[in-house]
Chains A and B, each alone.
Chain A
C-alpha cells in the first residue's frame, strides 16, 4: 500500500535551486534511506513530503488520514516553558507506563523523563523526539538525522530498533542519515541526493553505482559493499539455521 508518493518535486528559493526533479514512493513496510552531502536538499525534501514547505513544482500524494511521526533536524528547546521530558511525551498521547517502558529503556529516555526538556543535550533531545515519534505508532516515520549528536555506541542499536519497529508495525520509514554504513544495511531503498537524485534503488545496486562512490568516496563505497555482502551472508546463515 502506498503511503506517500512524490513526483518530480522541485524547490527553488529565489534564484537557488534546492531540489530538482525528485520522485520517490514509500509504502507500508518500506525503508527509504536518503543520503547525500550537506546542503543536498535532504531536509528540504523531508519538509516538502510533510507539507511543512510548499514545493515549487511537482506533486505529492498521500492518504488524507496518514499518521506521521517526525523527528526534525532541530528540536526546539525553550527555557521559558517549564515542560518536563515526560510531560512533552505525554502531550503526544496518553499511554500506560507499561506500554512505553521497553521503548523508553531501549532509547535511554527513561532516566530523562523528570528532567526539564530545556536542559537536555542535543543527543538526548533527539532520543526524546524519536521516542515520541515511535510511541504514536504512526503509518509513516520521517526521521531527519535522528542520531546526529547521539553517541557512537548507541547508534547501531537504535538504528536496529527503528528498522525492527518498521518490520513489526508495518510503518513506512524515510530516514535521512550520515551514518551510511550502519543505516544502509537496514534500508530497502536508497536515494543518493545532491539537489537532483543521483541514484535510487536497492542498497546493493546503489552502492555499486558511480554516483555513490562520487558522493561518499571510494573508501566508504568499498566498505558499504563489504558490509552489505557480510549482512547478506549472515542473513542466509540465519535462514539456513532456522530452516
Chain B
C-alpha cells in the first residue's frame, strides 16, 4: 500500500476517534444545525486566511471559535428560536465569505480543497496533531462525563443540583468548533458534519447506553473513513465526499437493524 493512503487512513481514524463522542453529544444536545452553521463559517475563516496570507486552518479555527461563542450566547436569549439564530449566523458567515472571494484572484483550487477536504494530501505532522487533539479532548470528556451527560439529559435538574450547565454548553461549543476546524483538511468544511452526525445516528440502533453509543459511533466513523479512502484510491473519487457517502450508506444499513 502506498504510504499516502496509510497516512490518510491514520488521519481519518484520528478524526473518527473524536467524531464519535462529539457527534453523539451533538445529536443528544440537538446541535446538528449549530454544527452546520459553524462549518459554514469555517469557509469564511479559510477565505480570510487565504486573503491575509495566514494559514487557512488557523483562520478557520479562529472564525469557528468566535462564531460558536457568539451563537452559543445568542441561543441563551429566548426571543428567537434556535434554528432561526443558527440560520442567521451560518448563512451570514457564508455570504460574507462569498463576497470576500472577490479579493481572491489566484488560489481558488486551494479553497476547493478546504470545502471538500484533501485527506490524501495529509502529512504525518497533521496526523500527529489530530491524534494529540483527540487524546486531549477524550480526556476532557472523560473527566467531565457525569456533569456533561447530566447537563445534556436534563439541564434544569442539572443546574438546580449545581452542575455548571452554562460552562458545559460553552465548553462543548468550543470543542465542536475545534473539531470542525480540524476536520477541514481531512473531509472539508461542508462534509465534516456528515462525519459527526451520520455515525452517531447509525450507532443509535445498536447502543444500549450513552457510552456504548459513543464507542459504536467511533467504530462506524472509522469504517466510513476507511471505506471512503478505499473508494477514493480505487475509483479516484474525491476522498471527503467518498467518506460521507460511506457514512450515509452505513446509516441506512443501520435502519435495517430490528429494534
Contact = CB atoms under 8 A, between A and B. Distances in A.
**Do A and B bind?**
yes
Interface of A: 47, 50-52, 67-72, 75-76, 78, 80-84, 87-88, 91-92, 117, 129, 132, 136, 142
A88 B146 CA distance: 10
Cβ-closest 5 pairs across A and B: A70-B160, A82-B207, A50-B160, A72-B156, A81-B28
B161 interface: yes
B210 A68 contact: no
A82 B160 contact: no
B208 A81 contact: no
B2 interface: no
A178 B48 CA distance: 59
A67 B162 CA distance: 8
Interface stretch (B6-14, B105-113, B119-127, B147-155): B147-155
A72 B161 CA distance: 12
Contacts of B213: 81-82
Contacts of A50: 156, 159-160
B208 A82 contact: yes
Given A81-B210, A82-B208, A91 B159 contact: no
Main secondary structure of the interface of A (DSSP, over half): mixed
Contacts of B160: 50-52, 68-70, 72, 142
Contacts of B162: 67-68
B161 A82 contact: no
B212 A82 contact: yes
Given A70-B161, A81-B213, 17 more contacts: A47-B156, A69-B160, A72-B156, A80-B28, A80-B204, A81-B28, A82-B204, A82-B213, A83-B153, A83-B210, A84-B208, A88-B153, A91-B146, A91-B150, A91-B153, A92-B161, A129-B157
B209 interface: yes
Contacts of A82: 204, 207-210, 212-213
A142 B157 CA distance: 10
A65 to B, nearest CB: 8
B27 interface: yes
